[in-house]
C-alpha cells in the first residue's frame, strides 16, 4: 500500500521533483461566477457520475445535504480555478462511498488579495524567501480577515488548504484565531511551516469544545516528489500541532506539490476519500 494514513509520524521524507497537472474542468457546474475581484466562489460538485454537468446548476433543485468545504488556493492560484483541481477527489468519493448518489461537495473557494502573475497570493515576501524561512508575511492580516469572515458564517464541514493556503490555515491554528474547528477536520496539502509563528506553535495547546468529538482532526497530504514545499517543513508543522493536542494523520503519496490525482496515486485518493467519508457519516 503506497499511501496509508499514519498518525503522528515523526520521520522525515526527502523531497524530489514536483509536477502539478491541472485536472479537466468539463464536469464542474459553477453557480457563482467569479472574476478577478471576487471575494469567494462556491462550486457544487455532485459525486454521482449521472449528475455531473458542465452547465450551471439549479441550487434550489438539489435534494442532498452538501458536504461543505472551505478551500484556500496556493500562491498564484485563483478562487475560480482551485475547485477544478479537486475533480479527482469527487471521483474518489463516488468510488468509495456506499451512498454516492446522496453525497455532494459544496466548495467555497476564497480568493487571496495580492496579485501574483496570473493569480493571487496570500502574502508577499522578498525575492528568494519562502514561507518556511520568512521572518514575516507582509499582508497576512488582510488575508486572515478575509478568510475568517467567510469561515465564521459558512458552517463548513472541512477546511482544505493547498500550499500557501495550507500555510495560512496552519498560521491561524497557531494563533488560535479559527472561529470554530470544522467537524470533519482540516486537510493540508503541500504545506510548509509557518515560520513567523514558530513561538506560538511551540507553546500551542489546542482548545477543545465541550460538545466536540475530541481533538480536532488534521490530514496532512505529503508528496514524495514535492520540491516546492519540502516534506520536512510540513512534518515540522504536523509534529508541533500533534504535540499541541491535534489528532494528526499523514498520507504520503507519489505525486509532487499538487493535490493528488487518480492517475498519479490511486491509493492516495482512496485514503483521502475514506478519511472524509468517515467524518461525513458522524
pLDDT in tens, the chain (282 residues): 346 566 553 332 222 112 222 222 222 222 222 333 334 455 554 443 322 222 223 333 445 667 899 999 999 999 999 988 888 887 788 778 776 556 777 899 999 999 998 999 999 999 999 999 999 999 999 999 999 999 998 999 999 999 999 999 999 999 999 999 999 999 999 999 999 999 999 999 987 765 556 789 999 999 888 888 989 999 999 999 999 999 999 998 888 898 887 554 578 888 888 898 887 655
Q: What is the largest CA-CA distance in the chain?
A: 50
Tally the domains of the chain.
Answer: 1
What's the pLDDT at 169?
A: 98
What's the pLDDT at 266?
A: 76
Residue 166 CA to residue 97 CA, distance in Å, equals 26
What CATH number has the domain bearing residue 190? 3.40.50.1820
Residue 229 CA to residue 192 CA, distance in Å, equals 6
pTM of the complete model? 0.79
Mapped onto helix, strand or coil, the DSSP state of residue 197 is helix
What are the C-alpha distances in Å from 187 to residues 65, 97, 102? Answer: 21, 19, 22
What are the C-alpha distances in Å from 31 to residues 55, 59, 154, 210, 245? Answer: 9, 8, 17, 37, 38
Percentages (nearest 5) of helix, strand, coil residues in the chain:
30, 20, 50
What's the pLDDT at 134?
A: 95
Q: Is there a contact between 130 and 42 (Cβ–Cβ < 8 Å)?
A: no
What's the pLDDT at 30?
A: 27
Give the domain range for residue 112.
5-280
* DSSP H helices in the chain: 87-96, 140-154, 164-174, 198-202, 231-243, 266-280
Amino acid at each position: 500500500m503506497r499511501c496509508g494514513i499514519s498518525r503522528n509520524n515523526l520521520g522525515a521524507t526527502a523531497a524530489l521533483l514536483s509536477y502539478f497537472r491541472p485536472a479537466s474542468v468539463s464536469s464542474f457546474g459553477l453557480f457563482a461566477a467569479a472574476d478577478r475581484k471576487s471575494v469567494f466562489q462556491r462550486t457544487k460538485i455532485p459525486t454521482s457520475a449521472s449528475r455531473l454537468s458542465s452547465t450551471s446548476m439549479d441550487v434550489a433543485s438539489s435534494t442532498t445535504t452538501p458536504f461543505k468545504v472551505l478551500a484556500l488556493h496556493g500562491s498564484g492560484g485563483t478562487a475560480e480555478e482551485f475547485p477544478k483541481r479537486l475533480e479527482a477527489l469527487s471521483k474518489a468519493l463516488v468510488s468509495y462511498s456506499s451512498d454516492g448518489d446522496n453525497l455532494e461537495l459544496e466548495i467555497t473557494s476564497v480568493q487571496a488579495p495580492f496579485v501574483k502573475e496570473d493569480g493571487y497570493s496570500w502574502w508577499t515576501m522578498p525575492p528568494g524567501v519562502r514561507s518556511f524561512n520568512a521572518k514575516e508575511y507582509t499582508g497576512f492580516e488582510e488575508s486572515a480577515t478575509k478568510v475568517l469572515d467567510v469561515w465564521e458564517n459558512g458552517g463548513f464541514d472541512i477546511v482544505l488548504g493547498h500550499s500557501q493556503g495550507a500555510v495560512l490555515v496552519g498560521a491561524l491554528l497557531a494563533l488560535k484565531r479559527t472561529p470554530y474547528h470544522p467537524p470533519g477536520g482540516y486537510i493540508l496539502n503541500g504545506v510548509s511551516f509557518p515560520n513567523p509563528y514558530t513561538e506560538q506553535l511551540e507553546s500551542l495547546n489546542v482548545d477543545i469544545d465541550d460538545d466536540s468529538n475530541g481533538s480536532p482532526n488534521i490530514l496532512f497530504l505529503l508528496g514524495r516528489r514535492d520540491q516546492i514545499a519540502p516534506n520536512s517543513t510540513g512534518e515540522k508543522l504536523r509534529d508541533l500541532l500533534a504535540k499541541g493536542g491535534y489528532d494528526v494523520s499523514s498520507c504520503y503519496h507519489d505525486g509532487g506539490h499538487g493535490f493528488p490525482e487518480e492517475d498519479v496515486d490511486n491509493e492516495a485518493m482512496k485514503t483521502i476519500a475514506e478519511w472524509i467519508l468517515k467524518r461525513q457519516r458522524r
